[in-house]
A and B are shown apart, each in its own frame.
Chain A
């Protein structure tokens, strides 16, 4: 399990970095989204893998640390997901405005 998730995070992050380094704004926006998936999964993974045990008290036997997943990274990531949606929206609008003003979708606002 760990190895699968680690490879998954790696592929998401690698694709994201590749796209972020590309010259077209749409590529960058897709890249940032992929990177945010990778980072969110990475943060949750920092709480280690616990299968079949939601961080809900009373839902299973024994409410202690050994049987429950770490709730803290989950709480961090929950807001991160929503904030990343907001930044995507902001970036999209900046992208569109830049495209309207400069007539190009290159990240520098002019063709190289």
Chain B
């Protein structure tokens, strides 16, 4: 294959993900197709990784970068050195074997596309971790592995065990992943780059930095959770609810190795300090001892293997924590060896489970006679796990023993270390022996349903291959594993490789003695405890301490009890405290700069005092205060006062040289008042009473005074701020651009309008869309409107009018209202064309003189509303067909169409154009696309305003109809009941 070796890496990374997408597409029982696809993908990856070996063998590094956001230093950076190569090869090769094994393991009922799709995606994510040259990219793939681990553990999601195990694994590893991300961010900040090469080269700077300890702790949290190290080990046994291929692949050979991989990877940057040794070393030592001890007392085969995995990962972590180059060599070596023998043991356990239907060590017995080949393979693998000579586990274990004998910090623990690890290793031997002895020896099993027999050859084949690797490495290490180990170590430690020997026989060294003691001690322990173990449920002493239960308790306490208590303490469903808090915070935030920088408002005004303006505002202020005062008991008065304040605002806009705003404010004021008037009818009566019995109805005095204080402070603050700004000269803002270019680029002289329909047309487009959405929401809400019972009868005034009309012989019901409205009705009928013309006039001149789509639209709506007021809903709708939703749709289509028309001329969305056309008798007339845009705005505003007002107005018609018809039908039913 001739492919530049840089692109090889990209292909290796992309292939599993592509395979994952493809795998998801097959039928749910396509086991063979899936297995073929997944094998092809992993085999190709393996070949490609193998082909790149020559390029990394001498400490060289393959690097490929795909630029993403180079300005921020964010690139997709793939990097492979010797260490990464070894892991990539491990991931791809064990992946291939697991896929093969899974083909026979999964039953025809299982939906296999999901399984293989997740498995391949996991493989891609794992390769992503080891091949990342950028630390953020590494964290990304790290999170992906947590995610796919979750999905794979929960593969049989119909069982509660799988769901709980998956959830726990996800929570623990993703909390770790989050810490890791935080740690990596600090690390990148210290170094100034997330580039792995630069981070690795800055070890001294990192270790001397004041943030070294937090960084270290955060990154360790990530690594230790992923590798299931004490005190985060409890998720791994729960994850055994996953299908066995997943346990073999993710939870022994690859994903849990991610943590120790990261530790080895970052050792040159973070390691070598006392803190490193204490934290990493103690976590590793405790996991090693605890895992080995608990594993012996497990009754579930996979549980035993899970605790054994925790123990072996603890061994590796302990080695990394010892801070010596030789220990790193041993750690890498044991990492490779553990992957081979543990994966094969998991697969063997899966075969036994498959054949007998149980994983309980107490029920299994004497299987050697039924499946001799599997038994032999499992025995060799278990012996490798125990550290029996001539097998790979023995070699790395011996290096481990040798390293513990060395002096590190010469503390008491350091001196006791050889004895402690020898004692713990006895348990390793004991549980390995127990696994073999219980399952394969003894009398034939009795309680099984069928007769177990050997699995298909291809299901056994992966186990055999892995066991062969154990043997070859164990017998001829220098030929088989030697070069690979040297390549990996070279990548981590650089040229300063410590001298180590891979020979099988080193003579009667202390470490050999330790191995012998461990093996004989282990056999003794097993023989002594044999009968006890068959009855034991969990380990002695630790039986009642269940990590899972503690985890659940913590989870419930944090996510439910604590959250609820906090909500009770800090939260409220009441609006007033929330608003009070919001306004107070805003007030304080506004006041803070005044305290820190002082406030400078003692300058001379820039414009002269005007008595008229002051008088107008005296009225306006009085209106505002009166509205505030009357808001509760005199709603109608408050509404009128609010209108007064609005009119003063409108006049102020005229004064402030904002004619467009004044026009808009005026017409909006009209429709707002009409709107609120329509709403008043549905509110409860509230009559001011002064008796003592109604006292609790009012707020307690101090609360009112507090609110008054907040209100006065807010008003004074905003006023002072406005004043402080107004008396200063204006800065040179972007306004200059609009003034200078309104005519040149927009073709209009009304700058405000040109901004709205041309420069900032996209904003306007968004705003009218919002307007349309709000109108539709109002309409939709009112379709389901049910008024309160006391508001349903006709209002008192109308009721008395009707009574009067009915009492008079020559009048009909409604005549009083009709005669009262006779004059207004005539005036409004005459005004209708005038107002419409005004609206069109405002629209057309908007580009050059005050006016525009917004104000014209509301004016047009006012014309319609007036008809409703004068003639009543029924008459108006019989004579005038207004379809507000059509108006709105047309408006949106026109504005969007004008915007998209710009594409026709290959210009960006909403680009405008204008020119002058000669019109007979009138002369040159400006023709701007912006005018069309304004037409759309006009149509939408008309539609939205009319829709909102009419929707509320219609309620009166509806509610009169509904109760009366309901009452008459009720009367009819009672009448028929009486007849019967």
**Interface set of A (CB-CB < 8 Å, partner B):** 1-27, 29-31, 33-34, 37-38, 40-42, 44-59, 63-65, 68-72, 74-75, 77-79, 81-90, 92-97, 99-101, 103-105, 107-108
Contact = CB atoms under 8 A, between A and B. Distances in A.
Contact of B661 (A3, A78, A105): A78
B722 A89 contact: no
Contacts of B781: 93-94, 97
Closest 10 CB pairs of A and B: A14-B715, A10-B719, A6-B723, A18-B711, A15-B628, A27-B631, A71-B751, A57-B749, A75-B755, A11-B621
B738 A71 contact: yes
A42 B778 CA distance: 29
A89 B778 contact: yes
B679 A34 contact: no
Contact of A68 (B732, B739, B945): B739
B774 interface: yes
Contacts of B675: 85, 88-89, 92
Contacts of A10: 715-716, 718-720, 722
A83 to B, nearest CB: 6
Contacts of B657: 50-55, 69
Interface in B813-868: 848-850, 852, 854, 858
Interface in B901-940: none
Given A1-B607, A65-B736, A89-B948, A99 B788 contact: yes
Contacts of B734: 72
A17 B699 contact: no
Contacts of A14: 711-712, 714-716
A77 B652 CA distance: 14
Given A7-B719, A33-B646, A70-B730, A51 B607 contact: yes
Contact of A79 (B648, B767, B791): B767
A92 B676 contact: yes
A82 B664 contact: yes
Given A9-B719, A85-B671, A96-B679, A15 B749 contact: no
B239 interface: no
A101 B751 CA distance: 47
Interface of B: 573-576, 579-580, 583, 605-610, 613-614, 617, 620-621, 624-625, 627-628, 631-632, 635, 638-639, 642, 645-646, 648-649, 652-653, 655-661, 664-665, 668, 671-672, 675-676, 679-680, 682-684, 686, 699, 707-708, 710-712, 714-716, 718-723, 725-727, 729-730, 732-736, 738-739, 742-743, 749-752, 755-756, 760, 763-764, 767, 770-771, 774-775, 777-778, 781-782, 784-789, 791, 848-850, 852, 854, 858, 941, 944-945, 948-949, 951-952, 955
Contact of B628 (A18, A40, A101, A103): A18
Task: Name the prevailing secondary structure of the B interface residues.
Answer: helix
A31 B760 CA distance: 30
A87 B675 CA distance: 12
Contacts of A87: 774
A101 B785 CA distance: 9
A1 B645 contact: no
Contacts of A3: 605, 609, 723
B968 to A, nearest CB: 22
A90 B788 CA distance: 19
Given A21-B580, A37-B649, A96-B679, A45 B726 contact: yes
9 contacts: A1-B610, A3-B609, A24-B631, A31-B628, A44-B658, A49-B607, A70-B730, A78-B752, A103-B789
Given A20-B583, A56-B750, 10 more contacts: A7-B617, A13-B719, A30-B639, A37-B645, A51-B607, A51-B655, A89-B949, A90-B777, A104-B684, A108-B573
Contact of B722 (A6, A19, A55): A6
A39 B367 CA distance: 85
Nearest to B781: A93
A15 B617 contact: no
Given A47-B735, A75-B752, A105-B683, A21 B715 contact: no
Given A15-B628, A18-B711, A24-B632, A77 B661 contact: yes
B730 A20 contact: no
B583 A41 contact: no
A74 B613 contact: no
A86 B776 CA distance: 11
B716 to A, nearest CB: 6
A104 B972 CA distance: 32
A103 B790 CA distance: 9
A17 B711 contact: yes
B864 to A, nearest CB: 15
A17 B605 CA distance: 28
A74 to B, nearest CB: 5
Nearest to A67: B739
A4 B727 CA distance: 12
B854 A78 contact: yes
A40 B714 contact: no
A86 B665 CA distance: 13
A65 B722 contact: no
Contacts of A48: 606, 725-726, 729-730
Contacts of B787: 96, 99-100
A31 B850 CA distance: 29
B850 A54 contact: yes
Q: Name the residue among B625, B672, B712 with the largest chain A CB count within 10 angstroms.
A: B672
A78 B664 contact: yes
Contact of B733 (A1, A70, A95): A70
A5 B720 CA distance: 10
Contacts of A25: 683
Nearest to A38: B718
B585 to A, nearest CB: 13
Contacts of B628: 15-16, 18-19, 30-31, 34
Nearest to B622: A11
A63 B736 CA distance: 11
Given A15-B628, A51-B607, A57-B742, A78 B711 contact: no
Nearest to A26: B635
Given A20-B579, A33-B646, A96-B682, A1 B668 contact: no
A65 B631 contact: no
A84 B668 CA distance: 9
B179 to A, nearest CB: 41
A71 to B, nearest CB: 4
Contacts of A46: 725
Given A8-B621, A68-B739, A89-B948, A74 B658 contact: yes
A8 B652 contact: yes
Nearest to A95: B679
Contacts of A97: 781-782, 784-785
Contacts of B627: 15, 19, 30, 34
Contacts of B665: 40, 81
A49 B728 CA distance: 10
Contact of B576 (A7, A99, A101, A107): A107
B645 A34 contact: yes
Contact of B631 (A9, A26, A49, A71): A26
A56 B664 contact: no
A60 to B, nearest CB: 10
A105 B775 CA distance: 23
A57 B504 CA distance: 96
Contacts of B739: 55, 57, 63-65, 68, 71
A74 B752 contact: yes
Contacts of B682: 96, 99-100
A7 B621 contact: yes
Contacts of A95: 679
B751 A78 contact: no
Nearest to B951: A93
Contacts of A53: 657
A99 B624 contact: no
Nearest to A27: B631
Given A29-B676, A93-B952, A56 B749 contact: yes
B96 to A, nearest CB: 61
